[in-house]
């Protein structure tokens, strides 16, 4: 059931593109992937975690992995041929993506940048992304998301993830 009070640019975009999706409302905001997954009724592996990385020349890239994995910035740096990369600050995330930390989605980013999807994302037929709001996620067929985003598919996860 659609919550009339929740209408984000991402939801509007999916409706305009006529892409099937399901809104997953959360009764509260959460700070961890595990807590968010519980609130949405999904497994962390079904969630797309989007991590904004910044290099020393202030260039940005969005690395996306399944929620139970961690991003390896050195893999992104190596692929892009950039200098050392670190996670962006909360302020940079909002300024560069247009979304607050915890609500970053690979769709409709404020700034044009490379978007990399780990191939492990494709192991799930359906994934969840942020709606652009801390109060809801969106379930979408993985192939539809990949078609919309047109990311570079590259292994960007740490080999030994620590939860």
Any domain includes 7: no
Any domain includes 120: yes
What's the CATH number where 73 sits? 3.90.960.10
Per-residue pLDDT tens, the chain, 163 aa: give them: 344 457 899 999 999 999 999 999 988 888 899 999 999 999 999 999 999 999 999 999 999 999 999 999 999 999 999 989 999 999 999 999 999 999 999 999 999 999 999 999 999 999 999 999 999 999 999 999 999 999 999 999 998 645 5
The domain of 101 spans 19-153
Cα–Cα distances in Å, from 31 out to 12, 16, 55, 145? 25, 30, 25, 24
Question: Nearest to residue 137, comparing CAs of 87, 99, 91, 86?
Answer: 99
Q: State the distance between the two ends of the chain, measured CA to CA, in whole angstroms.
A: 32
Any domain includes 5: no
Question: Nearest to residue 69, comparing CAs of 155, 132, 139?
Answer: 155
User: What is the tally of structural domains in the chain?
Assistant: 1
pTM above 0.85, yes or no: yes
Any domain includes 80: yes
Strand partners, 136: 25
Any domain includes 8: no
Any domain includes 2: no
Any domain includes 68: yes
CA 47 to CA 38: how far, in whole Å? Answer: 11
């Amino acid at each position: 059931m659609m919550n009339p009070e929740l209408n984000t640019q991402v939801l509007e975009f999916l409706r305009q593109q006529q892409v099937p999706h399901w809104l997953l409302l959360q009764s509260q905001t959460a700070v961890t992937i595990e807590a968010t997954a519980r609130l949405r009724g999904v497994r962390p592996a079904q969630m797309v975690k989007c991590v904004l990385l910044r290099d020393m020349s202030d260039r940005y890239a969005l690395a996306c992995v399944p929620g139970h994995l961690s991003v390896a910035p050195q893999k992104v740096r190596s692929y892009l041929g950039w200098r050392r990369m670190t996670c962006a600050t909360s302020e940079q995330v909002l300024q560069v993506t247009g979304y607050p930390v915890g609500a970053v989605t690979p769709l409709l980013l404020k700034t044009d940048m490379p978007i990399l999807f780990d191939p492990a994302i494709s192991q799930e037929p359906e994934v969840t992304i942020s709606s652009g709001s801390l109060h809801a996620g969106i379930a979408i067929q993985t192939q539809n998301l990949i078609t919309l985003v047109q990311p570079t598919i590259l292994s960007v996860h740490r080999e030994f993830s620590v939860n």
